[in-house]
Structure 1
Amino acid sequence: MSDELKISRRDFLKNLGMAGVAATAAGSTGLTLAGEVFGSTTSGGVYRRPWWVREVDEPTTGIRWEQIKRVDASRDTLFGNVLGRFATPEENQRLLQVREDLLLERLNSEEPGYTLKDQALENAMRQSRGIIPRSFLGAQWAMTPEQRGVARWEGSPEDAAHIIKVALRQMGAASVGIVHLDERTRKLIYAVDTDGKRIEFEDVEQAYETEDKRVIPNRAEWVIVYTVQMSEDALRRAPTKIAEFGTQTSYQRGLLVQNGLQEFLRGLGYQGLGEQTLNGLGIAPALAVMAGLGELSRQNRVITPEYGPMVRVFKLVTDLPLAADRPIDAGITRFCKTCKKCAEACPPSALSFDTEPGWEPVGEWSNPGHQAWFENSLRCRRFWYEEAGTNCGICFAVCPFTKQGKSFMHQFVHMQIATAPVINSLTRSMDDAFGYGVRKDPTEWWNLDLPEYGIDTTKGK
């Protein structure tokens, strides 16, 4: 760490005082221009966000809807086998063998984060996820109103959004947003799902599935987008099997939430069409941005005001009429222009160092028509197999937004980022000075006093 970054907490508080003046000046102007003083309330009035999280008409990164196309996720993403079509079958097989050999070598040398107990922990969570059913149509075990001999639930879109969000929070969702499907946002639903089945919209009453397609009724016009927290303590050990365990745990909990939501909607008399495959159905970051859950970041992933990047995003289509949410501006994208900490920490240099997000995709795995810091996904994925032996998550761990402490200092910093971008570089420097984002000892994790699932469920509340 350079000498200019070695400061005391007392000096930091002095800097905060100066920052406060800037924040007051910039913040009052920004809020006046926005016409928002008291922050935003999610549709259904379930919870109010801090005053510096503003609803806006368009996302903070640009979109050219006329250029957006529905994605063939089985062909143009890396959700499949290793590098998918972007490498030969022989190369994909080689990478699988390299990872297997690497994990065995680290197991035999008892490398922290890759010991037998570490690998057994991650594998247990990965395999247990296969026991839980995942379905586009849902298990359909819950009694419908018709089966009960009563009329289905009816209420205003606001009332419907309210009960959906309350139910989801109780099921384990961290945050929930709603997107209305129209001719533009339908483009965010995959044309072909990750397993190769087409996803089509038809003028039918009930959704159905065949050997080669999944059909969404035209009347199903709403996407429920929700997040599940990841364990910060686990991800701070990335890239190890402990960090990958944190990822697998969030996927398992997201699947449990999906199953519960599908049965809840069925019990109300409506359809819930979920992810048949992991990361299926639609573009998670784009839908999360449109649902107001967060902003697109330098990681080319969503960062939320409440949880930073420490979330996984899930989605489900329904025919229950819901009040939609709007995109937000919490200063996150603006901060990413200055920070660049994740790009500096990325071992394979897969993240962009450009100050401004661009319009030109890096590869065919990126959808054109939107502004982003496009990552080199092939470099990222190769690192997983050739060096990490796991998934990664370093970019999540080092992000300044990962810290979501309840102290006034952290809350003040979030307010400053939203209202006084002129001192964003100072904020990044303070993050470095306090040593945040440094990888933690994997061995230490086994002796921590951790909460259930390794997450603090009071964050963001």
Structure 2
Amino acid sequence: MSYPSNHPTPHPDDTAAGIEVTAEFERFTQRNDMFTRAFWDDRIRSKQTDQFFASYRMEAAPRRGDGFTQRDFALRNASWLVSDIISNRGNDAGKREGFQAAIANDTPVAPMQQPVDDPARMASEIKRIARFFGADLCGITDMDDRWLYASRVDTRDMSEAPNDLPQGMTSVIVMGHQMEENLVATYPSALAGAATGREYSHEAAVVMQLAAYIRNLGYEATASMNDTGLVIPYAIKAGLGEYARNQMVITPEFGPRLRFSKIFTNLPLTHDTPKPRGVRAFCDICTKCADACPVKALPFGPPKISTDVSAIKGVRKWTSDAEKCFGFWAKMSSDCAICMRVCPFNRDFSKWQNKAWLKIALSPLRHLALWMDRKRGGRKKPGDWWARDI
């Protein structure tokens, strides 16, 4: 399936989703994402970035200090194992599955096709099966090709390659995978990186199993993680949450503490709708993430149209300085999510106190909610995480 390089036509649900696409819109070329640029762009690649990637193979000496010991790096790297196994199997073909290429089908599409007389009932069934396999959230939206990458990356030489999908895909199933709250509380640390890696490994299994289920029903299903398209707009359009200043999707169940995966399919399904509740208005008055960022990579002020090479063109939104952000990651030899940790929405919303706070935060009393949050979000000592478990 081929797609035009530009697709600025507005969609009916853009306003509800809080997505502002301008006439300058261009689909994003994945070769320009920051992690890919670190392999080919001399302005980004450095000894520090090479050490950053090497640390995930324990080839770079771990830093000293709480949260950056060999044990911390060992747990982080072990948490990535399942994801790494999947992503490495397409290396010979230049396809890092789940990151620079869609996950290859492990099962064929069944020759007999299960009739779907009620797409709404089938959508409910898909969400049930997603939860059965381990997804924490699941929503479904239409196949909006604006958010597909204009091209993917051939990892053998980092060149552009066709971003192909089977013909006739009509829906995108988006799943959310919760990161462990106690690990997130230790950012920045290598230990906290285990929260990220564990969910990439979890989502790899979940998204592959759900896609296999759909193929067994006789329909196309392409499993996808960071590859193929931008998951955030799909998650917002699927009603899972709202976009925030920290570049994350704020959900009413877990705040920003999620990773997302997706499946492209032609299975007949009804689509969810965006559910704006007031996160944008809260972020308009809150700058905790931008204030806490050690390299000031997050924006202050209102959403803007970015001209950064690693940002999508022609969309008015809050956009980070990806080079500053990744530079800090490279310096630490681990990912950083301070912006996730300090976010006022980073709460356990199964507790009545946090449900009450959420109601205030999404109301005209949002200034009160921000004041109530003023002492939250401090970093927990990684050593305490180890000691508590013992």
Judge same fold: TM > 0.5, yes or no. Answer: yes
The 8 Å contact of residues 137 and 175 in structure 2, kept in 1 or not, is answered as yes
1:303 matched residue in structure 2: 250
CA distance in 2, matches of 1:377, 1:108: 24
The 8 Å contact of residues 60 and 333 in structure 1, kept in 2 or not, is answered as no
Give the direction of change, closer, same or farther, for the CA distance of 1:396–1:194 in structure 2 (3 Å limit): farther
Following superposition, the deviation at residue 79 of structure 1 comes to: 3.0
2:230 matched residue in structure 1: 283
Matched, 1:357 2:303: yes
1:191 matched residue in structure 2: 150
Q: Which amino acid aligns with 2:274?
A: P
CA distance in 2, matches of 1:112, 1:214: 42
1:377 matched residue in structure 2: 322
CA distance in 2, matches of 1:123, 1:57: 39
The 8 Å contact of residues 78 and 84 in structure 1, kept in 2 or not, is answered as no
Structure 2 SS opposite 1:402: coil
CA distance in 1, matches of 2:174, 2:315: 20
2:347 matched residue in structure 1: 403
Counterpart selection for 1:159 from 113, 121, 126: 121
CA distance in 2, matches of 1:314, 1:299: 19
Counterpart selection for 2:198 from 249, 256, 266: 249
CA distance in 2, matches of 1:314, 1:189: 14
Counterpart selection for 2:171 from 212, 222, 240: 222
CA distance in 2, matches of 1:137, 1:384: 26
Give the direction of change, closer, same or farther, for the CA distance of 1:353–1:106 in structure 2 (3 Å limit): farther
CA distance in 2, matches of 1:336, 1:108: 35
The 8 Å contact of residues 140 and 272 in structure 2, kept in 1 or not, is answered as yes
1:58 matched residue in structure 2: 15
Counterpart selection for 2:45 from 72, 80, 92: 92
Matched, 1:336 2:283: yes
The 8 Å contact of residues 342 and 394 in structure 1, kept in 2 or not, is answered as yes
RMSD of equivalent CA atoms: 2.7
1:263 matched residue in structure 2: 212
2:8 matched residue in structure 1: none
CA distance in 1, matches of 2:276, 2:378: 28
Give the direction of change, closer, same or farther, for the CA distance of 1:445–1:84 in structure 2 (3 Å limit): farther
1:178 matched residue in structure 2: 140
Q: Which amino acid aligns with 2:29?
A: D
String of CA shifts for 1:405-446, please: whole Å, max 9, x gaps: 43332111211222x23x2222112111xx310000100111
String of CA shifts for 1:362-395, please: whole Å, max 9, x gaps: 5121112322111111100001112x22110100
1:320 matched residue in structure 2: 267
Following superposition, the deviation at residue 155 of structure 1 comes to: 3.0
CA distance in 2, matches of 1:158, 1:107: 51
* TM-score, length of structure 2 as denominator length: 0.84
Counterpart selection for 2:376 from 424, 433, 436: 436
Counterpart selection for 1:113 from 67, 88, 91: 67
Following superposition, the deviation at residue 220 of structure 1 comes to: 1.0
CA distance in 2, matches of 1:126, 1:262: 21
Counterpart selection for 1:293 from 220, 233, 240: 240
String of CA shifts for 1:299-331, please: whole Å, max 9, x gaps: 122111111110011111101011111111121
1:28 matched residue in structure 2: none
CA distance in 1, matches of 2:232, 2:82: 26
1:456 matched residue in structure 2: none
Matched, 1:79 2:35: yes
CA distance in 1, matches of 2:336, 2:199: 15
Structure 1 SS opposite 2:129: helix
The 8 Å contact of residues 308 and 401 in structure 1, kept in 2 or not, is answered as yes
CA distance in 2, matches of 1:57, 1:326: 10
Equivalent residue runs for 1:126-145 within 5 Å: 126-132=80-86, 134=97, 136=102, 138-141=104-107, 145=110
Following superposition, the deviation at residue 222 of structure 1 comes to: 0.8
CA distance in 2, matches of 1:158, 1:320: 11
Give the helix-richer structure, 1 or 2.
Answer: 1
1:11 matched residue in structure 2: none
Structure 2 SS opposite 1:390: coil
1:10 matched residue in structure 2: none
Give the direction of change, closer, same or farther, for the CA distance of 1:314–1:128 in structure 2 (3 Å limit): closer
Q: Which amino acid aligns with 2:45?
A: N
String of CA shifts for 1:235-286, please: whole Å, max 9, x gaps: 11111111111100011111001110121011111111122xx511101111
Runs of 5+ consecutive residues of structure 2 not aligned to the other structure: 1-12, 90-96
Identical residues among aligned pairs (%): 29
2:359 matched residue in structure 1: 415
Q: Which amino acid aligns with 2:118?
A: S
The 8 Å contact of residues 113 and 241 in structure 1, kept in 2 or not, is answered as yes
* TM-score, length of structure 1 as denominator length: 0.72
Give the direction of change, closer, same or farther, for the CA distance of 1:249–1:412 in structure 2 (3 Å limit): same
CA distance in 2, matches of 1:411, 1:137: 37
Counterpart selection for 1:233 from 165, 179, 182: 182
1:70 matched residue in structure 2: 27
Give the direction of change, closer, same or farther, for the CA distance of 1:186–1:339 in structure 2 (3 Å limit): same
String of CA shifts for 1:321-369, please: whole Å, max 9, x gaps: 1111111112111111111111111000000111x222x2051211123
Give the direction of change, closer, same or farther, for the CA distance of 1:428–1:195 in structure 2 (3 Å limit): farther
The 8 Å contact of residues 107 and 116 in structure 1, kept in 2 or not, is answered as yes
Q: Which amino acid aligns with 1:408?
A: W
Structure 2 SS opposite 1:378: helix
